[in-house]
A and B are shown apart, each in its own frame.
Chain A
Amino acid sequence: MNAIGYVAVAGQVMAVVIGAPLLTGWMRQVRARLEGRAGPGPLQPWRDVRKLLRKEPITPVGTGPAFRAAPALLVATTVVAAALVPLLSTDTPVSAHADLIVVVALIALGTLALALAGLDTGTAFGGMGASREMTVASLVEPTLLLSVFALSIPAGTTNIPAIVSSAAHAPARLASPAGLLAIAALAVAILAETGRIPVDNPSTHLELTMIHEAMVLEYAGPDLALVELGAQMRLTLLLGLLSSLFAPWGIATSASWAALAVALALLAAKVLLLGAVLAAAEVFWAKVRLFRVPELLAGSFLLALLAVTASYFLNGAA
């Protein structure tokens, strides 16, 4: 049992680390095809990372420890979160510690590290990006928490593996009003947290419209590779969490090699499908104006609040 559990944890981390650039490449490829382009192929983000790791590291004059520690901290928090969140198996040696609040706090810590690094560069755009990122984060983190709370009420715990395994055994719960509201709220929160359209445009070149990009303008070489890898890993992790919470079919609930292999294949399929849907949606959407972003996020917070209320009154109180 234990060996399989540890393999499951290692597999989750490896799947997120190795799969993240592939997911980004896949999404860019889907988008390129919809735009009539040929596209660089799904391996391109890995080529970018390989090249960045070979480049000369640069520490801009006047930056301090916050700037230097942020890339490593971003990747480290995401790796820990990837080990905790049930992506492949709900029965791992660390699943007892995989509390919802811990996972959201780890994600927030990564965001905070990057915002501090943006401030540390002392450039106008770095500070502007940091202030925008924190504005968005302060609206997104409560939504992340609340929308999962809606699922944790029927499960009676905030332990994510327990929520997922109880949902896997009672799938009807996910189609309830509370479940649907929570899906919508969590999806918007994840779009905002990972800096996708309509909240932020990951491929923008206009500094004035940037949120995430503006904080990392000063990174170069291996540090930039870590920052990009970290951002891609967060997207993969959160899409994986979304699929585990709302489509838990196939996730390993017991310790067996066969279940683990099936879970890995299904996780890849689910995340790739979500990525394709997201990439296709981005072709149709435009970025919303920055001053409208709080309205969008407040709306998703409201959905999450309704989900919790519905979940409490419709089945939680019984």
Chain B
Amino acid sequence: MGLLRRIRTAGRVAEPAPPRPDEQVPQKARQLAGSAQVRCVDAGSCNGCEIEIAAAFNPVYDAERYGARLVASPRHADVALVTGPVTRNMAEPLRRTVAAMGEPRLVVAVGDCAIDCGEFAGGHGVEGAVADVVPVDLTVPGCPPEPAAIVAALRRVTGR
């Protein structure tokens, strides 16, 4: 009963949808037509980016309303959200994860670390940025990027 009252008083917590981002939709994303299954790969991040990704899928930002959904297997996924600088031990798993995804597939580098190693540049365990290991289609800058920026990138992929 307590839960029922909470549901009634909370009502709708999702923020009104911001206008659709007007940047170029990547060519490959056109074929997805409003539906993108997302697989997160932590290639060595500090987990700050993961927290923001989790926030992008919470009821307030609600990335699911634009057709993006987190899935459990790279085989089901169209989009890989890669965070963090790629560490030596994660370089091969990252390559394999992206290889396991069917075409058309997109790789989105989330966070400054994923784009140019950011905070961890020059670390002894760092292999390089994500683009050094797998081809990257979209980037989301920020340390960590705001959930709204992650949602905007996902909307460019789903086109909604």
Give residues in A with beta carbon < 8 Å to B: 32-41, 44, 47-48, 50-51, 54-58, 60, 204-207, 210, 213, 217-221, 224, 283-284
Besides A34-B7, A60-B75, 9 other CB < 8 A contacts?
A: A36-B59, A38-B17, A44-B67, A47-B67, A51-B36, A56-B102, A217-B75, A220-B101, A283-B3
Residue pair A224, B13 in contact (C-beta under 8 Å): no
Q: Determine, out of B27-35, B84-92, B109-117, the stretch whose residues face the partner at the interface.
A: B27-35
Instruction: Pick the 8 closest A-B CB pairs, nearest first.
Output: A36-B13, A47-B35, A220-B75, A38-B65, A38-B14, A217-B73, A56-B102, A56-B103
Contact of B72 among A51, A204, A283 (CB under 8 A): A204
B143 at the interface (CB under 8 A from A): no
Q: Mark B1-43, 1 if CB is under 8 A from A, else 0.
A: 0010001001111100100000000000001111111000000
Residue pair A37, B14 in contact (C-beta under 8 Å): yes
Residue pair A36, B10 in contact (C-beta under 8 Å): yes
Give residues in B with beta carbon < 8 Å to A: 3, 7, 10-14, 17, 31-37, 59, 62, 64-67, 69-73, 75-76, 78, 100-104
* Across-interface contacts of B62 in A (CB, < 8 A): 32, 37-39
Known interface pairs A37-B64, A58-B75; A220-B102 also in contact (CB < 8 Å)? yes
Total number of residue pairs linking A and B with CB closer than 8 Å: 90
Q: Is the interface of A mostly helix, strand, loop or mixed?
A: loop
* Across-interface contacts of B59 in A (CB, < 8 A): 35-37
Shortest distance between the CB of B58 and any CB in chain A (Å):
9
Shortest distance between the CB of A230 and any CB in chain B (Å):
15
Considering only CB atoms, which chain B residue lies closest to A32 in the complex?
A: B64
Residue pair B33, A50 in contact (C-beta under 8 Å): yes
Known interface pairs A56-B102, A220-B102, A224-B76; A40-B66 also in contact (CB < 8 Å)? yes
Residue pair A50, B35 in contact (C-beta under 8 Å): yes
> In the complex, what distance in Å separates the CA atom of A35 from the CA atom of B100?
33
* Across-interface contacts of B71 in A (CB, < 8 A): 205
> In the complex, what distance in Å separates the CA atom of A217 from the CA atom of B74?
8
* Across-interface contacts of A37 in B (CB, < 8 A): 12-14, 59, 62, 64-65
Residue pair B78, A51 in contact (C-beta under 8 Å): yes
Considering only CB atoms, which chain A residue lies closest to B71 in the complex?
A: A205
> In the complex, what distance in Å separates the CA atom of A205 from the CA atom of B36?
16
What are 14 A-to-B residue pairs whose CB atoms are below 8 Å? Answer: A36-B10, A37-B14, A37-B62, A38-B12, A39-B65, A51-B32, A51-B34, A213-B72, A219-B75, A219-B76, A220-B75, A220-B76, A220-B102, A224-B76
Residue pair B12, A218 in contact (C-beta under 8 Å): no
Residue pair B70, A36 in contact (C-beta under 8 Å): no
Residue pair A210, B72 in contact (C-beta under 8 Å): yes
> In the complex, what distance in Å separates the CA atom of A57 from the CA atom of B67?
22
